[in-house]
A and B are shown apart, each in its own frame.
Chain A
């Protein structure tokens, strides 16, 4: 493994039991990321983005049918680790999550300052007073007025609550923060503020980010690299410059073509059809039913090909 790899995920699978069968939400995902890198994961609703976030943080619901693969953080394997050790050494300490709709899941009966201080008391054994001071520092950093620490979540605007959720994920100074749709419920100007904030944190604190979103335009505000997921799998990985200029996978190309643009007059186009069910996904290429480039070979599952440092799971790039 390259020395400067921060995170390496190998053949990660997370399946859920559901009424009609087993949902293969994350189905053999592998990728690596470097320190101080921002990787964005994009893809349509239901393609497994949030499940992937849960899988790498080992935050699993009860109805898990299957969970396997390898996750290395700084070379240390996490899947085999005892939960107690994982909780003490990894989750919220080295790696934290801002879950989807975090701003709506703050504790309503705790002052937000206490909520931000809590991980430090629990995970770092801080005294309450020190933890609160640290929380106030973090509030300053994320642009929440310090006296807001005394308030309850319902007394704050959506944007302020999202900043509090980000402060909470930052307060233990983790190396990697996973943000699941951090701006999708927010207003335009608030969104721009939050993206500015993430950029600044990345510069000042050398933090790495995994940003999960279906908003492709906003994803380009932070991305060093882009990961495209489709039907539980990664279909393309590439540096953001080449990706946004010319994506390789036919699905990525269609996805990019669906983005309306303010500063160009190309008409956006939609992708016909729907993603396949994750209960019995097709055996060949999962995008085949919607792919304009489909040919005979596509009835078999394509492997992931490497092309000038980019990865693409499509027979066209064999």
Chain B
């Protein structure tokens, strides 16, 4: 056990912030490319869904990954969950490279990572009772005692506040509300007592009030179980309440990462700036003005633009630089990183 770990366990309050702790998950230059085939022509290039992503997640830390549809969020998560094999790069969990752990290691890894899907309606099998849905992962993971399975199901339901449990056990998904279904999805993700939860748009299908309820529930579980959470969303307004750091993704890359407060105070990347500007708070004045939106749409991931991938839409483009060379990662203020030439110390 490292000194740091001993310290954490002795005085958790001091190290409440995950980022000061040891790394739980480390992703190094990950690429997930899908081969594109054209009928009659065979190979026709690759969809570079994830194209060179690195990130460190600490024990008990909550991070948010935000970005528009198709930027590669789900592909990144599926690679982390072991559902996609990385084309390149490494995923290291608790010091073990999960591409090298073998089948037994992979089973262990999957029990350490819980998954909360986007759409509760599609996530739960319609013809299974709640009890059966929660029992299945236990059976698969070799919990052979019926009594123990029962106890763990009761505890999981209590944790997601579906009580009295007996009332919910025999029900089928369509007999409960969307918010309750999402709590079942969370209970299922928690039932093997994972150390990491990957939540892919866990609340985007729900009403505002239910969203808040589910996010608060996840926060409470995160704290009480010292869980690390990757929260994928396109809703920036919830990020402040739910994560310590934020990662902004565009066209397969992470183009800015920072602590939430630092990023909300100042966006270093023009794309992050556009995302924030497009997010509304309820205010009657909104109707009086037009929003500034960068022109165009996210690029093809088969042939992404040369240089900075945002350059065809960027209002601050530096001609001859941005459209030629891919920006490396700059750190204009401590712990706040961006892939943008505007922050090249040598240019300024």
Chain A residues in the interface with B (C-beta under 8 A): 38, 44-45, 157-159, 187-193, 195-196, 199-200, 214-224, 240-241, 243-245, 254-256, 258-265, 267-271, 274
Contact = CB atoms under 8 A, between A and B. Distances in A.
Interface in B237-288: 237-238, 240-241, 264, 274-284, 286-287
Contacts of A271: 209
Contact of B264 (A159, A195, A262, A270): A262
Given A240-B287, A270-B209, A262 B282 contact: no
A188 B236 contact: yes
Given A224-B287, A255-B208, A262-B237, A191 B278 contact: yes
Nearest to B313: A189
B225 interface: no
Given A196-B291, A270-B216, A214 B274 contact: no
Q: Which of A192, A195, A218 has the most CB of B within 10 A?
A: A192
B297 interface: yes
Q: Is the interface of B mostly helix, strand, loop or mixed?
A: helix
A258 B278 contact: no
A158 B69 contact: yes
B166 interface: no
B213 interface: yes
Contacts of A158: 69
A216 B293 contact: no
Given A223-B284, A262-B281, A270-B216, A188 B237 contact: no
B199 to A, nearest CB: 16
A199 B287 contact: yes
Q: Which of B177, B274, B276, B297 has the most CB of A within 10 A?
A: B297
Interface string B208-240: 111111001000000000000000001111101
Contact of A274 (B177, B235, B240): B177
B251 to A, nearest CB: 13
B68 interface: yes
What are the 10 closest A-B residue pairs judged by CB atoms, nearest first?
Answer: A192-B278, A270-B213, A241-B284, A258-B209, A270-B212, A217-B280, A187-B68, A260-B237, A192-B291, A240-B284
Contacts of B236: 188, 262
Interface string B112-144: 000000000000000000000000000000000
Contacts of A192: 277-278, 291, 293
B89 interface: no
A219 B297 CA distance: 23
Contact of A244 (B68, B279, B282): B282
7 contacts: A157-B297, A192-B277, A254-B209, A260-B241, A270-B212, A270-B216, A271-B209
A244 B297 contact: no
B178 interface: yes
A152 to B, nearest CB: 17
B316 interface: no
Nearest to B204: A184
Nearest to A157: B297
B238 A260 contact: yes
Given A214-B207, A221-B287, A262-B236, A159 B297 contact: yes
Interface range for B = 35 or more
Given A187-B69, A220-B286, A261 B237 contact: yes
B294 interface: yes
A214 B208 contact: yes
Contact of B208 (A216, A244, A245): A216
A255 B207 CA distance: 10
A189 B275 contact: yes
B41 interface: no
Nearest to A44: B207
A16 to B, nearest CB: 17
B39 interface: no
B178 A220 contact: no
Contacts of A157: 297
Nearest to B69: A187
B280 A189 contact: no
Given A187-B68, A189-B278, A196-B291, A220 B209 contact: no
Contact of A259 (B208, B234, B284, B297): B208
Contacts of B177: 274
B208 to A, nearest CB: 5
A293 to B, nearest CB: 17
Contacts of B291: 192, 195-196, 221
B237 A221 contact: no
B216 A262 contact: no
A258 B210 CA distance: 9
Contacts of A220: 280-284, 286-287
Given A159-B297, A189-B275, A256 B210 contact: no
